[in-house]
Structure 1
Amino acid sequence: MTTELIEKEAIDVNKIIKADTDLSSELTDRLASAPRLGNEFKSKATITFNTTEGPKKVSTTVWSVTEKYIQLKNNIHIPIKSLIDIEF
């Protein structure tokens, strides 16, 4: 299955669902680094997450990470349990 690359403005938060496998504990270190990467180095992360239409990928700056969500620009929140991967 191919993962569609979309713009962050095209993210439909109502279609985001949990990933088949909960990788939140495996992604903890990378998630902790993501906001610093964007805020200090103006670099983007590529985030892959699960939706009702299959996996989607977005290349964007992570503004913050909470216990349950990653926050992107324009107040877009992606649940950590829906993440498949995050790359820098």
Structure 2
Amino acid sequence: MVGTLIEKEEIGKYKIIPADINRVVELNQKLSNAQRLGNEFKSKVAIIFQTENGPKRIETTVWSLTDNYIQIKSGVLIPLISLISVEF
């Protein structure tokens, strides 16, 4: 799996940028499932997203999903266009 593992609390240290390939459409169902897993079962998923420092990976629960962002703990938002992968 690509991406350097970081703690979700470290996300603010990085500038999140769009991924090389926009995967929003292909990841939409996985994101919906990730939100359900987080809300109903408190299950974590691995999320890989693009930053100026290269891909970063976090393991967290997805609290909510909008048309443009996923929200994780503490109100942290990650733009969907920056997502590279979502794995259960």
State the TM-score bracket (shorter-chain normalisation).
Answer: over 0.9
How far apart are residue 46 of structure 1 and its match? 0.3
Runs of at least 4 residues of structure 1 off by over 6 A? none
Aligned counterpart, 2:65? 65
Structure 1: which 5+ runs fail to align? none
Deviations 1:27-84 (A, max 9, x none): 0100111111011111101000000000000000000000000000111000000000
What is the RMSD of the two structures over their aligned residues, measured on CA atoms?
1.2
Query: What is the CA-CA distance between 1:12 and the residue it aligns to?
Result: 2.1
Which shows bigger deviation, 13-22 or 78-87? 13-22
* Structure 2: distance between partners of 1:31 and 1:85: 10
Aligned residues: 87
Task: Provide the rounded CA distance (Å) in 2 between the counterparts of 1:70 and 1:13.
Answer: 18
Shift of the alpha carbon at 1:13? 6.9
Percent identity of equivalent pairs:
54
Normalised TM-score (structure 1): 0.94
Q: Secondary structure at the match of 1:21?
A: coil
TM-score normalised by the chain length of structure 2: 0.94
Residue 76 of structure 1 aligns with which residue? Answer: 76
Question: Which residue does the alignment assign to 1:22?
Answer: 22
* Structure 1 position 19, deviation (Å): 0.1
